[in-house]
Amino acid sequence: MEQRHILFPGAAGGLGLTRERIASKLARGHNPGGRSDAALEAALGGGPRPGQQVGHTPPMPAAVLVPLVERPEGMTVLLTRRTAHLAHHPGQISFPGGRVEPCDDGDSIACALRETEEEVGLPAGMVTVLGRLDDYVTATNFIVTPVVGVTTPPIELALDAFEVAETFEVPLAFLVDSANYSLERREIDGRPRFFWTIPWEGRAIWGATAGILVNLSEVLRRRGR
């Protein structure tokens, strides 16, 4: 499917993706208008207006951590596969995270770090927060704030078996390269729905997770520091 008009072209070569450079690019700000499944469909001429909420209630605040792992061979991104029995996005590949709870005091960073420690056992003290990406409104009516953080091995994960089936890492250089993204179309409730997908070692990263990675890829390929 044609995607050149909505996905900035380019690969990771020569970007020098250190934690300092990533933090510098994130510091240039995010789009307060956010992103959403609806906005992607509108860009392709098949959906509602960008920013339109799902259903009749405001989106539920949530946050995820985009965990970068600083390995000698290069940065990777840690992802999870959700267990099949969960009510929301069962079996899908995702970032660790969840809805903002009262104990977070409305703080998306606190939520992302708490949920990450609960789901995969990565202590908040081992994560250096580098910045944030655009909010993303999902088809299930969550408004997700993606928080980008970095950790350095050795790390020992302890998965919450109720929520997380497995974790795996994907090289950041692979995820920055727009050649690895494609648009898929599926009929849902009688109308076309569009979503990004990224293949990796027999897995399909898609939906909001892929949309957040598109955002990260675009930010890291910005010109300048």
Question: Does residue 225 sit within a domain?
Answer: no
Give the integer Cα–Cα distance in Å for 127 and 116.
Answer: 10
| Lowest-confidence region among 41-45, 62-66, 163-167, 213-217 | 41-45
Q: Kindly state whether residue 11 falls inside one of the protein's structural domains.
A: no
Residue 154 sits in a domain whose CATH number is 3.90.79.10
Q: Does pLDDT of 4 surpass 70?
A: no
Structural domain count of the chain: 1
In a domain, 24, yes or no: yes
**What pLDDT was estimated at residue 52?**
46
The token pair at 67 is 């965990």
Task: Render pLDDT for 172-222 as a digit per residue (tens, 0 to 9).
Answer: 999 999 899 998 877 766 766 788 999 999 999 998 999 999 999 999 987
Mean pLDDT taken over the chain? 86
In a domain, 165, yes or no: yes
In a domain, 65, yes or no: yes
114 located within any domain: yes
Range of the domain at 177: 19-47+57-220
- Would strands 97-99 and 93-94 be described as parallel, antiparallel, or unpaired? unpaired
pLDDT band at residue 16 under the 50/70/90 scheme: confident
pTM of the predicted model as reported, rounded to 2 decimal places = 0.88
The SS3 of residue 209 is: helix
Q: Give domain status of residue 70, yes or no.
A: yes
- Which residues does residue 68 pair with via DSSP β-bridges, in sequence order? 77, 150
Residue 215 domain-assigned (yes or no):
yes
Please state, in angstroms and rounded to a whole number, the distance separating the CA atoms of residues 212 and 147: 10
* Mean pLDDT to the nearest integer, 107-129: 98
